[in-house]
Chain A
């Protein structure tokens, strides 16, 4: 079954190339990169200037220390015009009382013109949300093949349907997702496996201008209050009704906890039973893990947070959780979890025993020490050196501009970190190979990744609070130090054409790597939906095994290394 392509494979040249190749899979239209060759590898390098991207986040601060102003905002990559390259959506904050420029300050869409150059097309596209935004989801909720934009935040959410002609329609109210509560996280996922994407919105705290207050940082300074000062705001689960509308099914679906302050949300099949479970990272309240017991068309979750060992850290304490990501860090084919935290609380690494029971091994796996003084936000597992295990990028930035007055080890703007996996799930900071970007200080918030130049590595986009967004290129072409890679773009039928929620195993060189295709991760951000695997020295993936979102199994391969392949549901082999 062929589904309209979404990436470079849509180009005529690619269609021709497909015809010449086996029907089960197809490389894209780029010439293959020489293994280990190409341009010099200088790690991650800031290319914002030459990209043309000029975006300054407006947090609306005027010295009144409104709680929300220090929290935003996220960003994401998606191919909104389906021209084969990834465009960038940057979520904006907004004006607050006392801020001199009333705006409007809108989220912005930057079109990728190729060559890592971007143009602001917000006005013509009509998706410049005026929401005081936290983050965005950029999935295709109506299954028409064109990715849509959902922005969540304070005061309102906004859903823009992609018309397919380069413009968007605001369908927030018609779709039934208008909500004024303060949302801190969201995720798309086909939780009931009925073929379309349902929506979880994790709310943060009850906050309005009337509830505003400041808190003292002893001995005398006024600052932002801790979220403990505000009451939690429960989250919402929307069932996609398949006709462009959603129904709030929160309670009947078992999303019953009301004591969380959600600042991160991510879906993963943590217990390997074939459906997407939902993890909610809460700020200074226990985290939630909802086990998915849904049947097709009927959403049902069970709170297993405590039994699964993710409510608290290893000492039984809550943490100020924010960014989230899952990956198989130790090669045992299950989803391990990283959660970023406040400064003086280490980032947490919860290791899965394969049955969906986790243990906090942040200290044992050396993540605690390297992250203790950082104030972590966006986070992403990626294979920096293509050696077949997932390394970790963490974006940092403090809340308080004056933090250095209290602690010289803390800075408002902080360095991001690249931590390398030793292959057994222990992490250590990368050295100079990480690149000059990791010497930059930013007030980091959202972190999104995409392979913008299709060279087999992930480039970064970084959003900040009250500062400029940054675009960061992973330089070097081809494998790292001779290591090879493979990229997979999935295409499915029906109302989830991107196959969000699919699980993909790649077998190469005698080892298997597992990834899931996520509908939202990091902090408030959205990544390139293609899956990248480092293969080490292997010249091919011997086998690619896909479990599609509704559970069908299919195999592809062998597939050549150092290129992208588009895998279409129904064109592989049944195992």
Chain B
């Protein structure tokens, strides 16, 4: 028996998990929605999205199955073409991916998120580049950047196309742009280091080479790749933060490793400096307040939470763990 309301509630629950990055919980909720209403196209679409995001566990085929089902139920759900395109990209099936992205863009309207349209343009650019159509690729990347300017992969891919076209200075600028969006963009540091070396800028090349190596050692994924010893983590994140002070995540992780090593005074200094240097980086405040609480310094915890509430009033409540809610200033 169809349970339309129950399915809708499961979908909402799944979307919340999805937004929180809890993909497996999201997937379970979407599957519960489908079990209650197998004709619920949105639930199939969202299950497909969760499968794509969990693709490290190799679920592209499940994603394709879900998007196909969603489209069969509701051909107007053009975002399923977008999802299908991404899943086909996962299998390096250029023809199918290109077809799906084009179908999505043909049917997409302003109600579809510009990020989604930007990604479709981005992947069409990647496909064009792989086929040697560098001008076509650059045109797609330009549109992609306009639609989704915070997507660091686009300037990276643009850099690859420019490099291939022999426009090395522009390529270097494109890789740098990707790094400006995402300081941890490992491929951009890698390509930029090689390119800078070719351009004779040895010092800059060495810096990016070192950052790439550290990121390569620190990259974490679902397979459990982590640097387990806190001493080593502190060493690597400390060096990374020194090489790239704009990398707020590195500074935060450096402080966390110091806390693990019971070097709390040093950690406090690092976090104080982080909050000063990056006043719109909420995790810095949270870590500093938690550290203060751990050091039984309630005054500092309250000051830090207060500073967060002033700097980022729209994010303060959502950013804070429950243990720090009591320190929020009274409205």
Q: Which residues of A contact B (CB under 8 A)?
A: 215, 217-219, 225-226, 228-229, 284, 286, 306, 312, 315-318, 343-344, 346, 363, 368-369, 372-373, 403, 406-410
Are B224's CB and A286's CB within 8 A?
A: no
Known: A218-B54, A316-B187, A372-B91; 5 extra A-B contacts, CB below 8 A, are A219-B24, A286-B216, A368-B92, A406-B58, A409-B91
Contact with A along B14-55 (1 / 0, CB 8 A): 000000000010011000000000000000000000000011
| CB-based closest 8 A-B pairs | A316-B190, A226-B223, A228-B225, A407-B58, A408-B61, A315-B187, A372-B92, A369-B92
Question: In the complex, what's the smallest C-beta–C-beta distance from A381 to chain B, in angstroms?
Answer: 22
The answer for the CA separation of A316 and B226 in the assembled complex, in Å, is 18
When distances are taken between beta carbons in the complex, the residues of chain B under 8 Å from A403 are: 58
When distances are taken between beta carbons in the complex, the residues of chain A under 8 Å from B130 are: 363
Could you give 13 example pairs across A and B, Cβ below 8 Å? A219-B24, A219-B27, A225-B224, A306-B209, A312-B190, A316-B187, A316-B191, A316-B216, A344-B55, A373-B91, A407-B60, A408-B62, A410-B58
Given the complex of chains A and B, what is the CA–CA distance between A312 and B212 in angstroms? 11
How far is it, in angstroms, between the C-alpha of A369 and the C-alpha of B58 when the chains are bound?
A: 17
In the bound complex, residues from chain B placing their C-beta under 8 Å from that of A219 are: 24, 27-28
Q: Does B57 contact A (CB under 8 A)?
A: yes
Closest B residue by C-beta to A218: B24
Nearest residue (CB) in B for A307 is B197
Is the CB–CB distance between A217 and B190 below 8 Å? Answer: no
User: What residues of B have a CB within 8 angstroms of the CB of A318 in the complex?
Assistant: 216
Query: Chain B at the A interface: mostly helix, strand, loop or mixed?
Result: helix
- From B57, B93, B226, contact of A217 by CB (8 A): B57
B186 beta carbon closer than 8 Å to chain A: yes
**Does B222 sit at the interface, judged by CB under 8 A?**
yes
Q: Cα distance A215–B223 when bound, in Å?
A: 8
**CB < 8 Å neighbour of A317 from B28, B62, B186, B226:** B186
CA distance A343 to B59 in the complex (A): 12
Contact B60 A409 (CB under 8 A): yes
Residue of B nearest to A372 (CB): B92
Q: Is the CB of A344 within 8 A of B209?
A: no
A369-B94, A407-B58, A409-B60 known; A215 vs B212 contact (CB < 8 Å)? no
A137 to B187, CA, bound (A): 37
A219 to B, closest residue via Cβ: B24
- Which residue of chain B has the shortest Cβ distance to A229 in the bound complex? B224
Task: Flag if A344 contacts B58 (CB, 8 Å).
Answer: yes
Q: Is the CB of B61 within 8 A of A226?
A: no
* Neighbour of A344 across the interface among B28, B62, B90, B93, CB < 8 A: B90
A407-B186 contact given A218-B222, A373-B91, CB 8 Å threshold: no
- The answer, among B54, B62, B189, for a CB contact under 8 Å with A316, is B189
A344: B residues at CB distance < 8 A: 55, 58, 90
A430–B121 Cα distance when bound, in Å, is 33
Smallest CB separation, A550 vs chain B (Å) = 36
Encoded as 1 (CB less than 8 Å from any A CB) or 0, chain B from 63 to 76 comes to 00100000000000
Interface residue from A228, A306, A406 paired with B57 (Cβ < 8 Å): A406
* A317 in contact with B58 given A218-B24, A344-B90 (CB within 8 Å): no
A411 to chain B, nearest CB (A): 11
With the chains together, A51 CA to B95 CA distance in Å?
43
Residue of B nearest to A373 (CB): B91
Contacts of A225 in B (CB 8 A): 224
8 A Cβ contacts from B182-208 to A? 186-187, 189-191
**Known pairs A218-B54, A343-B58; A284 contacts B94 (CB<8 A):** no
Q: Is the CB of A228 within 8 A of B224?
A: yes
| A228-B223 contact, Cβ under 8 Å, with A317-B216, A408-B62 | yes
Q: Which residues of A contact B94 (CB under 8 A)?
A: 369
In the complex, residue of chain B having the shortest beta-carbon distance to the beta carbon of A226? B223
B208: shortest Cβ distance to chain A, in Å?
10
Is the pair B190, A407 in contact by a Cβ cutoff of 8 Å?
no
Residue of A nearest to B129 (CB): A363
A363 CA to B224 CA, complexed, in Å: 28
Residues of B within 8 A of A284 (CB): 223, 225
What residues on A are CB-neighbors of B223 within 8 Å? Answer: 215, 226, 228-229, 284
The chain B residue with its CB closest to the CB of A363 is B130
Given A218-B222, A228-B225, A344-B90, A315 and B60 contact (CB-CB distance below 8 Å):
no
B224 touches A215 (CB 8 A): yes
Partner of A346 from the list B92, B189, B216, B222 (CB cut-off 8 Å) is B92
Chain A residue contacts of B187, Cβ below 8 A: 315-317
CB of B29, distance to nearest CB on chain A (Å):
12
Closest CB of chain B to A225's CB: distance in Å? 7
Residue of A whose beta carbon sits closest to that of B93: A369
Q: Tell me the complex Cα distance, A219–B58, Å.
A: 12
Chain A residue, CB-CB nearest to B189: A316
Residues of A within 8 A of B93 (CB): 369
Q: Which of B27, B58, B224 has the most CB of A within 10 A?
A: B58
State the Cβ distance, A272 to closest chain B Cβ, in Å. 22
The interface residues of chain A lying within 8 Å CB-to-CB of B189 are: 316
Q: Which residues of B contact A315 (CB under 8 A)?
A: 186-187, 190-191
Identify the closest chain A residue to B194 (Cβ).
Answer: A309
Q: Taking CB as reference atom, which chain B residue is nearest A400?
A: B58
Cα–Cα, bound, A306→B210 (Å): 11
Query: How far does the Cβ of A394 sit from chain B's closest Cβ, in whole Å?
Result: 16
CA distance A306 to B212 in the complex (A): 12
Minimum C-beta distance from B188 to chain A (A): 8
Q: Are B212 and A316 in contact (CB under 8 A)?
A: yes
CA distance A438 to B94 in the complex (A): 24
A residues near B60, Cβ cutoff 8 Å: 407, 409
Most buried by A among B28, B65, B91: B91
Q: Which residue of B lies closest to A398 (CB)?
A: B58
Q: Tell me which residues across on chain B come within 8 A of A312, comparing CB atoms.
A: 190, 216
Chain B residue at smallest Cβ distance from A406: B58
- Nearest B-chain residue to A404, judged by Cβ: B61
Shortest CB-to-CB span from A220 to chain B, Å, is: 9
Cα(A218)–Cα(B225), bound, Å: 16
Q: How far is the CB of A397 from chain B (nearest CB, A)?
A: 15
The reply to whether A407 and B59 contact each other, CB–CB distance below 8 Å, is: yes
Contacting pair A218 B91 (CB below 8 A): no
Within the complex, what minimum Cβ distance (angstroms) separates B219 from chain A?
Answer: 8
Q: How far is the CA of A219 from the CA of B226 in the complex (A)?
A: 20
By a CB distance below 8 angstroms, the chain A residues around B61 are 407-410
